[in-house]
Structure 1
Amino acid sequence: MKALTVAKYILQSQDQEDPDITNLKLQKLLYYAQGFFIAKYGVAIFDDDIEAWQQGPVVPTVYQQYKTSGSSIIPLPQEAVSLEIDDEQIAFLHEVLGVHSQYSAWALREMTYQELPWKLAFNNGKTISTESLGDFFRERL
């Protein structure tokens, strides 16, 4: 599955609970969704790479899609994506969002700065490996 599909689902599902999602916050929610999904199921929920940028973990394809929003709230996607995501993935995403969407974009960014997957990739290249995500988040399940 593409990260953009997961991103659109997050935006649609959070429209009522957290309608103020910016690109920065969306990036961090994708990072946590990917990390916990790998830890729980042993596979990635989306195929796109996550890179360690100055502002924390970023999925470049999703960043490019929404960069015109800048630091403003991302408008709600018009097309429905729930048919592309199965019930197990939906339930999982709601678990992760239930915990992490309560934090501001800046708080999430600060959290990721303290976490090993971002630190390793930021200091040693760019791409955050699925192995480092799995190892790190497995300890936090």
Structure 2
Amino acid sequence: MSYSPAIVANAVLTRANQRGIFISHLKLQKLVFFTHAWCLAILGEPAVNERPEAWEFGPVFNTLYYRLKERGHERIREYIESVDATTNAFATLVPSPADDRFWRILDQVMDRYGTFTAAQLSTLSHEPGGPWEQARLAGQAVIPDETVRLFYEGKLQ
């Protein structure tokens, strides 16, 4: 159950559109990260098949950044198209509706974090002792999944 950042981002956008939530590039990055983090903590599996990087404003999925960097702080309304491996055509892809575990966690993430601003989410992703801070202090460019999993599992207890 690991998806590209674009596919997880499309799932976040789907839920945001259903709920009337404003999503900017920065906010989308953080919601994808929190979805990834809680999937690791609850399911023991990553939601995203790319590791987040420890950038200045928190965890960032590099490929998602380069696809959306021109958007700035504006609202993202369109879904991200990817190449569908079965048809070899561009398509708007989201996780399968049959992936109940993913969608349940995403819904919990949207319930908990969806109404926060991008700045608030960035602050939350900089939590003292959190995965982003651990990676930055260790001089790591990439935040290891194990670091993310252990930190968010600790929040469950």
Please give the TM-score of this superposition, normalised by the length of structure 2. 0.82
How many residue pairs get aligned? The number is 141
Q: 1:32 is matched with which residue?
A: 34
CA drift at 1:84: 6.9
Q: 2:94 is matched with which residue?
A: 81
Distance 2:105 2:133 in 1: 26
Q: 1:53 is matched with which residue?
A: 55
Q: 1:132 is matched with which residue?
A: 147
Q: 1:104 aligns with which of 110, 117, 125?
A: 117
Distance 2:123 2:4 in 1: 26
Deviating above 6 A after TM superposition, structure 1's stretches of 4 or more consecutive aligned residues are none
Structure 1 range deviating more: 29-38 or 75-84 = 75-84
Secondary structure (helix, strand or coil) at the match of 2:59 reads: strand
Please give the TM-score of this superposition, normalised by the length of structure 1. 0.91
Q: Contact 1:15–1:76 (CA<8 Å) still a contact in 2?
A: no
* Structure 1: unaligned runs, 5 residues or longer: none
Distance 1:73 1:111 in 2: 21
CA drift at 1:16: 3.1
Q: 1:121 is matched with which residue?
A: 135
Q: 2:7 aligns with which of 5, 8, 11?
A: 5
Secondary structure (helix, strand or coil) at the match of 2:70 reads: helix
Q: Contact 1:24–1:105 (CA<8 Å) still a contact in 2?
A: yes
C-alpha RMSD of the superposition: 1.7
Secondary structure (helix, strand or coil) at the match of 2:17 reads: coil
Q: Contact 1:18–1:101 (CA<8 Å) still a contact in 2?
A: no
Secondary structure (helix, strand or coil) at the match of 1:15 reads: helix
Q: Kindly indicate which of the two structures has a greater share of residues assigned to helix.
A: 1
* Structure 2: unaligned runs, 5 residues or longer: 81-91
Q: Percent identity?
A: 27
From the superposition, tell whether residues 125 and 85 of structure 1 become closer, same or farther in structure 2 (CA, over 3 Å): farther
Equivalent residue letter for 2:115: Q
CA drift at 1:36: 0.9
CA drift at 1:66: 1.1
Distance 2:34 2:145 in 1: 12
Distance 1:119 1:38 in 2: 18
Which of the pair has more CA radius of gyration? 2
